[in-house]
Structure 1
């Protein structure tokens, strides 16, 4: 979701932006029919499946609104209780922020963000990239793990193929959607420093 919002903001204010760094952007080339693009994004990112469990949960939350609404009502309403249970099972006094975030997902974050922001935003991503390409002053850098099961690597490859002069793609080996940042924080920070430095001095 952050990638789509970042591109939208950069396209709205291209004169104020020098570089945009995207981590595993959910990019799908826009079709003439916007609904078709949104459905393509939904099928790729949350296809209906029974396995593995996390993918099954995502498919239920993305396709069956009433089931997701009921689940969130029971789970998120009692998030403090679930956090206590997690602490007991993990024997930790403090939970990781990702674990706390999981217990606090609401129906709006699970359903509306997927359908309105991610799938809806997919219909406008090409337009935003065209705007940035025409500005000629903005550089778009992508960092994507080659083992990402959340957002397929083909999304970044397709963006690079369609906007070769605008987009720079850095594929991180043996990294998935989470570990591309959290298990390589120092390398990720160095990547960002290099991107920012090169946006100030294009010769770098």
Structure 2
């Protein structure tokens, strides 16, 4: 059984990828909520990570009180709203922790069954990856639990001086404000490199410019 916390995700990556393949170096690329997981993993293996690329990272400077940071994360990334339906669902799952956990236990653990049902009703052989990701998402346990740890992870990487954190962020992102990346750059100027992309939002920063994104990764990896 898992509570789908930030550390649970890191442990699963450990057991399924890093340890079985005995990786001694790797690059990390993450988007949105995954950026917290990538930073936690990088902080755990600072000597093995060659580069960390964060796309639209939900970063908030850590307050002295961890609970305050978690509340700031809720207000910033999951504001209370009734419309549209997806935003309402995200709001409920985030503000009501037990609802989010119940969703994970019912949907995330059985995501293959729900994906089969969705394929049946939509008459499609393959689902869009965003539709698939919806059944495996637990914002509350990862973002609210991890927001207060991000500065700690960044400090570890900053002290290691062996890895660069590259941020890619769209200037029209309404899900994760560009201020999040600007704040990370201001707090860790020597560690963080920020690339602001014009006229793209939270998803089109990747999906709307796939080739450009791939070239950016190639450049980051080659220079690491």
Higher mean C-alpha deviation, range 5-14 or range 40-49: 5-14
Question: Tell me, which stretches of 5 or more residues in structure 2 are unaligned?
Answer: 1-32
Equivalent residue, structure 1, for 2:64: 32
Alignment map for 1:71-150 (pairs within 5 Å): 73=106, 79=114, 80-87=116-123, 92-102=124-134, 104-105=135-136, 109-110=137-138, 114-150=139-175
Equivalent residue, structure 2, for 1:5: 37
Equivalent residue, structure 2, for 1:179: 204
Shift of 1:71: 10
Distance in 2, Cα, partners of 1:65 & 1:134: 34
- Larger relative CO (CA 8 A, sep 6+): 1 or 2? 1
Question: Tell me, which stretches of 5 or more residues in structure 1 are unaligned?
Answer: 200-204
Equivalent residue, structure 2, for 1:197: 222
- Name the SS for the 1:143 alignment partner: strand
Contact 2:95 2:140 (C-alpha < 8 Å) held by counterparts: no
Equivalent residue, structure 2, for 1:202: none
Distance in 2, Cα, partners of 1:153 & 1:172: 10
Shift of 1:100: 3.5
Which of residues 152, 155, 171 in structure 1 aligns to 2:180?
Answer: 155
For these two proteins, the number of residue pairs brought into alignment is: 188
Structure of larger gyration radius:
1
Contact 1:145 1:174 (C-alpha < 8 Å) held by counterparts: yes
- Name the SS for the 1:14 alignment partner: coil
Structure with bigger helix share is 1
Equivalent residue, structure 2, for 1:60: 92
Runs of 4+ with >6 A deviation: 74-78
Question: Given the two structures, how large is their TM-score scaled by the length of structure 1?
Answer: 0.82
Give RMSD over aligned pairs: 2.4
Question: Given the two structures, how large is their TM-score scaled by the length of structure 2?
Answer: 0.75
Taking structure 1 as reference, are residues 41 and 66 closer, same or farther at Cα in structure 2, changes over 3 Å only? closer
